[in-house]
Structure 1
């Protein structure tokens, strides 16, 4: 066993990514060959119900690494389904390290493989997460939900906790396969599920600079993706021993905003704003009850003007509601307020430089930490629902209120 070749698995979770999966696979293969020329290298495509030729495109790409395809049915599955399939295959291969690359990224570089793999060397469990520069109109769920909430609960500032390009070693893989999996972890909640559980268990999390990230805009998913991310995050938070004080290391100044700025499709923004307005009209009383910090926010052309001063207190309201047993209402109503925060943020950053935007986001995260700590929120006394359901968003996000199949 001591003389066996090191096994490195690169997993590419995908659904209908035929246009980009080939380039991602080639970059992975080139990076593996450079970093581990004598190793046993495997590129795994994990897909669920692709209908656009994703599997065929992957099969046609010439790789020096061993190619493996694992598939699952499409209905009721998501990104997490594919990540868990990669983890299962990596465990079966007794992999020394596992890397994950999103299939829709257009800027994947072979150098990412070596950087991510080096960060997870060692016998103790470790998770590597990316640090990118992103279009200022993207990374909204990261900037306004995942990053500040993780900082507030765990005292650790992680710039890109749901970035997608992750890596971990065998020790982390073994531990992660024992963690409870909410339904949302099989969907877009998978990345925050990995990061939050690592922080919950005091596992070392390493940020790896990867330069620019260019991929398909996630904004059209803004009524679905954040709900799934919050669901997984809140499940992990409720299993945490309590709100932790900030760590001894001062948070690094972020450098997350890229010079390029591409606005979102106005038609999509308008459609999303209209859905959120209808949602808030339908749930106005409950939103006001659960989010007292949002009662005085002013109107805006898109709905509500939720400023950088308002938002940390609204996030604290959400954690207080979740800890008090109002899991699904807090999760779902927060999504509606979050969309208004995003649209307000876009107005706030108009005319600002990249560094100024980074500073604004850092201040927002720091204020969230202070707002949450000031509430005396007790964790561990409530639990989340066993099943994931769109619940309050049914009829507002074009999806029926159905649970994820077991």
Structure 2
């Protein structure tokens, strides 16, 4: 890294698909933040678009920015957010970037100040990734709160509040290291964020959490059947290359502040559709689910399907880690998605009437108990080969919001 940070090359990448309504505001925030943080540097905003049909790229190109603009495109079939992120990292390498930042294209609360905060966190020669810490709507961040964060804490001993937040930053040393990591097909989809964070923890790289305030964006709930499947697939591939479950690292006694005061429930029609699909899945596959997840056998019925409370969920996550270690990645991934949806709906019931700080305490307890549940087992990972092709597996026929292509391989 240069000694004068203002003279460096900084790239802000915006991965996008069909985000025409918000991409211009995100680009303008990136432009203002770059000019304020690096007035003497070379600053570039890169839009990476894969298959947009709503004029996202055209809206970006028509947005007036003072810094340089670059647009890279890829087709929509068999691609996803990870495709865009890898394109941005490649552009960063071509431009000789000293740091690359990512801003999600659908965020409505992006602030120019985020640029300086994220960039400052990755200054220095040591490979470093900066991840965000937000306040979120209590009905969002479900994959983060119930899957990615507790599983990473349980296996790697590090509690990262928002390991799949989207607003990331990397220095050149980190990007060079990341180029050496195996890329499962799901890392080209929504698995990209957890792939980056999990690999950083696996290699004991520096991970810095950067407070960014409130995050407001389009509701992710309609993706609740396919997004966590892709996230889990990437995470489980990284676990297979991990030396073993690690002891918990010392934690700063800083209270979690992940839950925002504002809350908006997802569309009840969408929730009802998802609940129906998950109920069908569990009815058809209960024998396999209960064999792989013994803790599920004691679950009680609930109006939405199964009651998966804060006490039960850590045991189910420990079953999942054991299933991956035994080499059953696909079944573990798919069955866990069904149980996870029931956990989300149970969680919403549990937090009825609670304020943000009390919900934060509940999530911290859930993560801590997941750490203990995993550590109580004798789990070791082998470098078991996993298929490079990603497809919906057991969810074919249940997820009507699936990707248009059900199976594809890592690009050559």
Instruction: Indicate whether the TM-score tops 0.5.
Output: yes
Deviations 1:141-192 (A, max 9, x none): 0000000000000000000000000001000011111110000000000000
Deviation at 1:401, TM superposition (A): 7.5
Who is 2:141 aligned against?
Answer: 139
Who is 2:406 aligned against?
Answer: 402
Who is 1:36 aligned against?
Answer: 38
Deviation at 1:253, TM superposition (A): 2.4
Who is 2:103 aligned against?
Answer: 101
Q: Secondary structure at the match of 1:161?
A: coil
1:113-262 matched pairs, under 5 angstroms: 113-250=115-252, 252-262=254-264
Q: Secondary structure at the match of 1:383?
A: coil
Q: Secondary structure at the match of 2:260?
A: coil
> What is the alpha-carbon distance in structure 1 between the residues aligned to residue 70 and residue 396 of structure 2?
37
Q: 2:275 aligns with which of 273, 287, 301?
A: 273
Whether the 8 Å CA contact 1:255–1:358 is kept in 2: the answer is: yes
> What is the alpha-carbon distance in structure 2 between the residues aligned to residue 30 and residue 280 of structure 1?
49
Stretch deviating more after TM superposition (242-251 or 259-268): 242-251
> What is the alpha-carbon distance in structure 2 between the residues aligned to residue 53 and residue 32 of structure 1?
25
1:321-360 matched pairs, under 5 angstroms: 321-360=323-362
Stretch deviating more after TM superposition (374-383 or 82-91): 374-383
Who is 2:386 aligned against?
Answer: 384
Deviations 1:12-42 (A, max 9, x none): 0001100000000000000000000000000
Q: CA RMSD in A?
A: 1.3
Deviation at 1:251, TM superposition (A): 6.0
1:41-120 matched pairs, under 5 angstroms: 41-120=43-122
> What is the alpha-carbon distance in structure 1 between the residues aligned to residue 319 and residue 172 of structure 2?
38
1:283-362 matched pairs, under 5 angstroms: 283-362=285-364
Q: Secondary structure at the match of 2:109?
A: coil
> What is the alpha-carbon distance in structure 2 between the residues aligned to residue 165 and residue 230 of structure 1?
20
Q: Secondary structure at the match of 1:322?
A: helix
Deviation at 1:347, TM superposition (A): 0.1
Deviation at 1:379, TM superposition (A): 1.0
> What is the alpha-carbon distance in structure 2 between the residues aligned to residue 202 and residue 381 of structure 1?
18
> What is the alpha-carbon distance in structure 1 between the residues aligned to residue 79 and residue 68 of structure 2?
26
The number of aligned residues is 406
Structure 1, unpaired ranges of 5+: none
Q: Secondary structure at the match of 2:204?
A: coil
Q: Secondary structure at the match of 1:382?
A: coil
> What is the alpha-carbon distance in structure 2 between the residues aligned to residue 219 and residue 24 of structure 1?
22
Deviation at 1:381, TM superposition (A): 4.6
Deviations 1:250-308 (A, max 9, x none): 46321000000111111000000000000001111000100000101000000000000
Structure 2, unpaired ranges of 5+: none
Q: Secondary structure at the match of 1:103?
A: coil
Q: Secondary structure at the match of 1:321?
A: helix
Whether the 8 Å CA contact 1:9–1:41 is kept in 2: the answer is: yes
TM-score (norm 2): 0.97
Q: Secondary structure at the match of 1:253?
A: coil
* Runs of 4+ off more than 4 Å: 1-4
TM-score (norm 1): 0.98
